[in-house]
Amino acid sequence: MIEVHKANGIAVLQMQHGKANALDVELCTELKGTLQQVESTSKAVVLTGQGKIFSAGVDLVRLLNDGDEYRTALLTALGDVMHALFFHPKPLIAAINGHAIAGGCILACAADHRIMTRENGRIGVPELTVGVPFPPIALEIMRFATPPQYFRQLVFRGLTYPPEQALARGLVDELVAGEALSDRAMICAAELASIAPLSFELTKLQACRLVFEKLEQKWSQNMAAQVNEAWNSAEVVAAVQNYVDKTLRK
């Protein structure tokens, strides 16, 4: 599910999980484990997808079909991999090769620098249009990664944007031609990796400190429990079913 290439001390992690790199328990668990494995052997990480899709977000059909126990396990796995990406101590580059939707967008926004192909793909967080509430860490990643003036628009309206509009709204940091994406990501990773590793890690930890502290607060922990309860509620399951029926099963 995760193919790893290494070059000049940089680990390239390519998600290869079906056509859409849909997020399920298995992919999230393997990505978290791979990040842990390369942490001590790499000076930077590039995360990318395959074809024209970075990740289309959570596997909604499986979310519906596999019941409450699976939904609870998925929320845990999603939170764990988002935490692993956002707080990864080494430089992390997202090479967004195409669509990055919902959870896929959040994975990208957890990176230190986001590069997207300019020719194709949309990016955004349509969780509320699907009908599910955000896990606390997902919302904090979006709050950290996007300009304050666009945060509410991105989250509440749930729109997805083509590359140029995504750049204007701070969802990505730069656009490149598709054939240049890999090289540009490696150059950027090497630039950040050239910084003294301890200095980079300590600065990153300080920059992310407020997010960590928010997640450790009792309010956030209680909210995580409420989100889990909501994902398993009849209301949210019905909303997801309606979304799937209208969009995925045409």
Domains in the chain, please, with CATH? Answer: 2-193 (3.90.226.10)
Q: How confident is the model at residue 249 (pLDDT cuts 50, 70, 90)?
A: low
Over the stretch 178-192, which tens digit does the pLDDT of each residue have? 999 999 999 999 999
Taking only the tens place, the pLDDT of each residue in 126-162 is: 999 999 999 999 999 999 999 999 999 999 999 999 9
User: Any idea which residue has 């896929």 for tokens?
Assistant: 104
Give the global pTM: 0.96
Percent of the chain, pLDDT > 90?
97
How many other CB atoms are there within 10 angstroms of residue 209's CB atom? 10
Q: How confident is the model at residue 250 (pLDDT cuts 50, 70, 90)?
A: low
pLDDT digits (tens, 9 = 90+) for 58-107: 999 999 999 999 999 999 999 999 999 999 999 999 999 999 999 999 99
Question: In the predicted model, is pLDDT for residue 248 greater than 80?
Answer: no
Smallest CA-to-CA distance from 91 within 10, 176, 180 is with 10
Is pLDDT of 1 > 60?
yes
